[in-house]
Amino acid sequence: MRALIALPVVLPLLAAGVSLALHRRPAVQRALSVVVLGATLVASVALLVTVERSGVAAVQVGGWPAPIGITLVADLFAAIMLVISTVMVLAVLVYAIGHPRTRDHGLFFHPLYLILATGVAASFLTGDLFNLFVAFEVTLGASYVLITLGGSRDQVRSGMTYVVINLLASTLFVTAVGLVYAATGTVNMADLAGRVAELPAGVRQALGLLLLVVFGVKAAIFPLFFWLPDSYPTAPAPVTAIFAGLLTKVGVYAIIRTQTLLFPTDGSPSTLLLAIAGGTMVVGVLGAIAQNDVKRILSFHIISQIGYMVLGLGLFTVAGVAGAIFYIVHHIVVKTTLFLVGGLVEQSTGTGALSRLGGLLHRAPVVAGLFLLPALSLAGLPPFSGFVAKLALVQAGLAVEAHTIVAISLLVSLLTLFSMTKIWAGVFWGAPEEVPPLEAAAGDGRLSSPALMVAPTAALVVLSLVIAVAAAPLWDLSERAAATLVDPAPYVEAVLP
Amino acid sequence: MILVLALLVGALYAVGTYLLLQRTLTRVVIGLAIMGHGANLLLLLAGGRAGRAPIVDGPGAGPFADPLPQALALTAIVITFGITAFLLALAYRSWLLRSDDEVEDDVEDRRIARLVRRHEENDS
């Protein structure tokens, strides 16, 4: 039980070291990554089952008692996030192995990728504000190198922005931790839950706002999102996909965790969070409409979608937070898939610019199908997972009579659909002979993609369909996870018995 | 004593912010490093008043400084150090590729600049 909580962090971290030592044997390196992340997935699922059956689990690493020692906590929310993120990490890993561009960077790609997995898992499991900072840095440190892997001019330029912005946010994070410690004398989150409540209202609000800004930069909420659409598209396709799927969501996770645990409202919706949600949704989708490149459109969509998650949190009801959790799970799967498909398009045609693409429906029908399903799901059309997620949020919003934000979210859904049709019309429709001939094309004009890249993409599409079909049990799970978030007594009790 | 340190933290943040807003990469890097120092000092200050013994000999030897912020500051220093080293390597790479130390405009900025230029040409 105790080992189970630590395993998702320890396994990939140890493997990263071994992987670095194995840099002369790429085949062994690849096998190691697959096996270790597979084992991590098994451990995560086991953890989810345990937490689902016997409630919040906590372990004190190193044996020091709770408020002083390093705490790892797994509640239902953390366990769900852990399982879904590990599935993504594994799927994208297989895709990356099949991707010709990653093979060139094999030496560093695998160790870095494993460290990234470590950081993400640690962010979900930590029960300590400072450790959250360390986990963020582990994740970001790996991501800095991954995003500039290859060192092209464009990558260095956008990577620079990415590193500077994130380093600034991290410095603010250290500042926030320092101020929290000065005010309360603890950085253990369960301990903080009680102590922050005793602080004067002004100090509490200042700390809450500072942490919101810190995590807001990582999550790319309005108005702190400018770095994202510039930096993500330049990285290799598998790297962009895993960043798009996981990294911003780690930020959202931290926002949800701190806002519910440390700075809960007295049951009423938070106007600030709802305003942020509205701004994020609208600006993100308008940005997406203005773009002419597959990866850039999808990058702006990430921002727009973050708004929905913040919307669910901002309602501060069990239904709202459950909607946010369900939305995150749906979004991670669908978004990663879309970026993987974008990578397939780029890999087979050599470009992602809408003006230079067309007619792929005839030349690569499988890719077209793999794009269409998650695209419709992202826009929220029934019967896909996005519809269920948005319906849940709309119902939760209407239940507390937040009509304005619900109306905005529905309008943004429509605009999302519009920008998706833009990709569809630009990339997949049109006559194939209108576009210049491509080197990768076979004799009959059909484009082929490596099976190792198509298979994980297809698997994720199926997974998103499964989410839609199994919406009822998953919703039940989200609701129970949200209940623990809205009323964190079991969480606090598990850490400080 | 603590007022002087508090003012110093404020000054470090101010200098760091000023340098961060410059367009030269080296200044941005130095700005971040200075700001990091400010943050670490703040962590240390969070542990309470200065002047208490950092290490005490045995139990009951009197009040001693809170060790936790020191441990946190150490961790933060190591992390900032590593990332700053990477940032410097990146800045060097950027200099090698472009033989210029200035931060380039991003894709969006360049598009807007082009639009403005086209409008001006049309007007004249």
Does residue A21 sit at the B interface (CB-CB below 8 Å)? no
The predicted structure's pLDDT at residue A443: 43
**How far apart are the CA of A75 and the nearest CA of chain B, in angstroms?**
26
The predicted structure's pLDDT at residue A118: 93
- Which chain B residues are closer than 8 Å to A177 by Cβ? 43, 72
E strand or H helix at A72: strand A70-74
Chain A from 264 to 303: CB within 8 A of any B CB: 296
Gap between the Cα atoms of A490 and A409, Å rounded: 33
A111: CB partners within 8 A, 6+ apart:
A16, A17, A19, A20, A23
- Under 8 Å between Cβ of A450 and A100: yes
Lowest mean pLDDT among A124-138, A144-158, B75-89: A144-158
Q: Which of A487, A489, A491, A482 lies closest to A74, judged by CA? A: A491
pLDDT tens digits for A289-300? Answer: 888 888 888 888
Gap between the Cα atoms of A272 and A249, Å rounded: 20
B80 vs B47, more confident: B80
- Under 8 Å between Cβ of A346 and A237: yes
User: Quick one: average pLDDT of A214-232?
Assistant: 87
- Per DSSP, the three-state class of A179 is helix
Chain B residues with CB under 8 Å of a chain A CB are 16, 20, 25, 28, 32, 35-36, 38-40, 42-43, 45-47, 68-69, 72, 75-76, 79-80, 82-84, 86-87, 90-91, 93-94, 97-98, 103-104, 106-108
A3 pLDDT tier (thresholds 50, 70, 90): confident
- Under 8 Å between Cβ of A255 and A216: yes
Task: Decide if A157 and B106 are in contact by the 8 Å CB cutoff.
Answer: yes
**How far apart are the CA of A287 and the nearest CA of chain B, in angstroms?**
11
Does residue A150 sit at the B interface (CB-CB below 8 Å)? no
Q: Which of A239, A217, A237 lies closest to A228, judged by CA? A: A217
DSSP, res A470: T
Phi-psi region of A423 (alpha: psi -120 to 50; beta: other; left: phi over 0): alpha
CATH number of the domain bearing residue B48: 1.10.287.3510
Q: Is the pLDDT of residue A247 over 60?
A: yes
Q: Which of A114, A108, A74 lies closest to A90, judged by CA? A: A114
Gap between the Cα atoms of A84 and A332, Å rounded: 8
Lowest mean pLDDT among A346-355, A467-476, A485-494: A346-355
Beta carbon pairs, A and B, within 8 Å: 98
The predicted structure's pLDDT at residue A123: 93
Minimal Cα distance from B36: which residue of A?
A171
pLDDT tens digits for A53-62? Answer: 888 888 888 7
- Which chain B residues are closer than 8 Å to A137 by Cβ? 79, 83
**How far apart are the CA of B32 and the nearest CA of chain A, in angstroms?**
7
A444 pLDDT tier (thresholds 50, 70, 90): very low
Q: Which of B38, B72, B103 sits opposite A177 (nearest CB)?
A: B72
pLDDT tens digits for A174-206? Answer: 999 999 988 888 888 888 888 888 888 888 889
Q: Which of A174, A217, A228 to mutate to test the interface with B (most CBs of B within 10 A)?
A: A174
> Average model confidence (pLDDT) for chain A?
85
- Which chain B residues are closer than 8 Å to A144 by Cβ? 83, 86
A107 vs A385, more confident: A385
- Which chain A residues are closer than 8 Å to B40 by Cβ? 174
Lowest mean pLDDT among A24-28, A215-219, B116-120: A24-28
Structural domain tally of chain B? Answer: 1
- The first and second tokens of residue A229, run together, are 């659409």
Does residue A145 sit at the B interface (CB-CB below 8 Å)? yes
The predicted structure's pLDDT at residue A84: 93
**Cα separation values, A261 from A131, A491, B77, Å:** 16, 9, 28
The predicted structure's pLDDT at residue A389: 87
- The residue range of the domain holding B11 is 2-123
To the nearest whole percent, how much of chain A has pLDDT over 90? 20
Task: Decide if A164 and B91 are in contact by the 8 Å CB cutoff.
Answer: no
Task: Decide if A160 and B91 are in contact by the 8 Å CB cutoff.
Answer: yes
**How far apart are the CA of A179 and the nearest CA of chain B, in angstroms?**
7
pLDDT tens digits for B84-124? Answer: 898 888 888 888 888 777 777 777 778 888 888 888 888 76
Q: Which of B68, B97, B106 sits opposite A158 (nearest CB)?
A: B106
